[in-house]
Amino acid sequence: MAGLRVIAGAAKGRKLKPVPGTGTRPISDRVKEALFNILGEHIVEAAVLDLFAGTGSVGIEALSRGATGWRPASSRTT
């Protein structure tokens, strides 16, 4: 697994620790970048609900890009 990192914003380049085990697949940088390109400036001052938080990298990325809040929610199936 490639290293997890914040790709833009105030925390750009900061490395994130992966979740131990094989039950979580982190989002790739390419997909995360595409997601935030689509969201654009709508993320600034937004409250973000992440229903599949897993590693938390999407929420942390949102905060780095100017979101005011992030609520992670993830259910464990194993």
Which spans in the chain are helix H? Answer: 29-39, 57-64
For CA atoms 16, 30, 39, 76, the dihedral sign is: negative
Which domain range does residue 9 map to? 4-17+25-72
Question: How does pLDDT run across 45-60, given as a tens digit for each residue?
Answer: 999 999 988 888 999 9
* Domain annotation covers residue 60: yes
pTM of the predicted protein model: 0.84
Q: What SS3 state is found at 26?
A: coil
In angstroms, the CA 29 to CA 73 distance is 21
* Domain annotation covers residue 50: yes
Question: How many domains does the structure of the chain reveal?
Answer: 1
**CATH number for the domain including 56?**
3.40.50.150
Question: How does pLDDT run across 9-68, given as a tens digit for each residue?
Answer: 999 989 988 778 877 788 888 999 999 999 999 999 999 999 988 888 999 999 999 999
* Domain annotation covers residue 29: yes
